[in-house]
Amino acid sequence: MDPIEKKSLEFLIELARVIRNMQMYNENHPIVKQGALKVQRMLDQVLASLPSLTFGASQNHLLIQSKQITEKNAIADRFVQMLQERNINGVKMHKGTNAQELLAFVKLMSTKPDHVVKDGRVIPELLKPFKKIKINEIEFVMLDEGEDLESLTEARKFFNTIFTEEFKDLKGADALKQIGAVIQKILPKMADQGFDDGDKELWGFFERSIESFGGGNLTETRQSLLTTVRTMDPKVQKSLFGQVITNSKELESVLKQFSNESKVSILSEEVESGRNLSQALDSLLKSKGDVVELAEELSKKFSGEDTESQEKLNKIFNLLQRLDSSQVDLPSRGKVLIADSDEECRKIYDDLFRRMNFETSSIDNGKDLFNTLQKSPALPEILIMDAKLPGRSGLEILSDLDMSKMRVPVILSTEMVSVENSFEVQMYSKLKFIKKPFEISAIMDAANELCPPPPPPEPPKKKEPDSPMAKVTETAAGTEITEEIAAELTKAREIQRNLMPSTFPNMPGYEVYSYYKACDMVGGDYYDVIPIDDENVGLLIADVSGHGVTGAMIMVMVRSAIRAWAHTTISPKELLSSVNPMVARDILSGFFCTVYYAVLNMPNRTLTCSCAGHNPAIIWNANTKECTFTKKGGMPLGILSGPSFDRTLQEEVIQLNQGDRLVLYTDGLVETMDMDDEEYGEDRFCKTIQKAATQKSDICVKYLINGVLKFQGKRPQFDDLTLITLRALK
């Protein structure tokens, strides 16, 4: 969202608040008066950069300056509802709109809908006070049931004139055949008027027409394209598509130009009909790099909790992830045998080890456990069991394994702390002891120690180029890739980078600054600053297990889920609990995402924080000049869902004082190594913070990053470096 769109959205949100207050009080109430003055100032700021501000509602979405606003905001959603209740499709506010006229608009919007609308239209007498504000002068063109083909734009005047007659009684194929003729009529008119975005407007009309009159799955969309293109003059085709369509391959290239919104709609239909999604993606995607942007649109469309949405997103998203060839065949890490009498514990272990890419089986008693191991054709890579098992205790099982020389690595997870020092435990060669109730991270660490993950695949050997034009690029990690793949990854990186905030919300009394550097062409780190309401702002940092296109896509999914829920709560723990099921249902086995999320209440100067498996935040205290860590805890998103995940989360409230500084970071900073394999470490990082904490935030961040990079020296970067800091100024 560009700065003007952002200012316009902020104005409309504030306008909606004034309308709500007018409904509760009256125009003479101080709250209404103050609000009216504020929105007048905000409108003046917007109109300082624009000749007019245009907004409206379409299909339950807010439109500003011809663009659909996809940012989730409860107040904006309510404003859309208010417009629709009063049959107000479009509003244009020109320069010179004064406070009196703006207040008249507030009165109109705060009046009950049945007192505003008569016979489906706004009562004409109610529009008389408006001179600089134009209401419903720009109307939507309805060509199919509930389907408007355009967003708000000046070009609609041309479309309206032609559509009234041309499409009066046409549907389906007949309407598709007429589209070329309509575009041909519009072209000279738009040229005469000098519309800078004329080609964009025509393309939008063309795409939505295909969807309205032909739409549906991939086969139907192809047929609709063919029907439409055949009617078009070659000059029209050249103007619209950049080429004349003469064969099926060129027709397919038109399909690849469709918006991601349309592509998601087509993929959804393909899921419903059970067709080959892989072939559909081949037809829709221009390049591998496009999957990052498509994942963003998918997450928006299917962010609901209903079963149908979940199933569609799951099928499409998993297929998209597998387009990243480096992650197609994640090797199995072997088998884990779970022995515990507690059914809930068995389920937690099962979910956890499956996410870590193990195969699992379970048993609920000790009596059958040893027999099961003896009869198995191959021993499991790990046995995780409780010491207290029905029929035969865990200590007896350890003794049996030792006597029979079965070398099975064991995780002994139990409430019976006393057995840790028992002879059986101390003598067993490969065992990790964990006390119940356990932390998920402790189980994961034990599993990785007893059965280390397989090393990443060797970089492919350099191949001789097939032609002088085929170039090879080397990534930061040393992997050699072709120029074509490098271009795709570059596009994915640009898309990913654009999803991170380039500017921060207005936070009087606070200073925020950030740094991000991917270790490869596409990274897995993410940070965000999310305005929640007038008083609260969310600060977030996240790290996906993996890089490349898959890591970027998972980051996109996490971002969309968090932004969808962020405005619903000021409790970080509640947000993470709401987001985790959406991530867990779609993420590939072996992947997860660590998150640290803090909500700043600006007037009270308090931070409410929660951690999902991420590095704890660092607070530098301006009075003591010391660094302290916030609480650890929580497990990463995407490993488990439901109560098992929720129980791991904690929430703490931190009071900031003048000069205090918050530092959020990813592990790439503290795990950076020098040429002697020594880690930078948390202690060294804290000492660097202490030296720079009193500086302005941008200088502080540069000092911190410079310290890490100087320590690293000539050693290659092997993880993303991401940092965000907040300082309380007063």
DSSP 20-86: HHHHHS-TTSHHHHHHHHHHHHHHHHHHTT-SEEEEEEETTEEEETTEE--S--HHHHHHHHHHHHT
- Kindly state the DSSP code that residue 358 receives in the 8-state scheme: -
Burial of residue 542 (number of CB atoms within 10 Å: 0-12, 13-18, 19+)? buried
Model pLDDT, residue 681: 92
Alpha helices in 365-506 (DSSP H): 369-375, 394-403, 423-427, 440-450, 483-498
On whether the CB atoms of residues 338 and 346 are closer than 8 A, the answer is: yes
Structure tokens at 386: 């409780």
Structure tokens at 588: 């590939």
Residues β-bridged to residue 725: 513, 663
Model pLDDT, residue 465: 44
Cα distance between residue 442 and residue 325, in whole Å? 31
Model pLDDT, residue 78: 83
Reported for 401-410, long-range contacts at CB under 8 A and 24+ positions apart, including other chains, are 401/370, 401/373, 401/428, 402/427, 402/428, 404/374, 406/373, 406/379, 407/379, 408/373, 408/379, 408/380, 408/382, 408/383, 409/381, 409/382, 409/383, 409/450, 409/451, 410/382, 410/383, 410/384, 410/385
Model pLDDT, residue 151: 39
Positions of the chain with pLDDT lower than 70, given as ranges: 1, 58-59, 66, 137-171, 186, 188-201, 204, 208, 212-215, 271-278, 287-293, 295-331, 455-499, 519-523, 546-551, 586, 588-590
Residue 546 CA, distance from chain mean position: 16
Q: What is the pLDDT of residues 572-592, one digit of tens each?
A: 999 999 888 878 876 766 678
Model pLDDT, residue 721: 86
Model pLDDT, residue 169: 62
CATH for the stretch 335-450: 3.40.50.2300
Cα distance between residue 446 and residue 77, in whole Å? 47
CATH for the stretch 493-728: 3.60.40.10
Cα distance between residue 594 and residue 586, in whole Å? 16
On whether the CB atoms of residues 610 and 562 are closer than 8 A, the answer is: no
Q: Where are the domains of the chain?
A: 3-135, 149-258, 335-450, 493-728
Structure tokens at 91: 């509003």
Q: Residues of the chain with pLDDT > 70: what percent?
A: 75
Q: What is the pLDDT of residues 198-239, one digit of tens each?
A: 566 677 677 767 776 666 778 888 888 888 888 888 887 887
Cα 150 to Cα 138, 147, 235, 419: the distances in Å are: 11, 9, 23, 71
pTM confidence score: 0.55
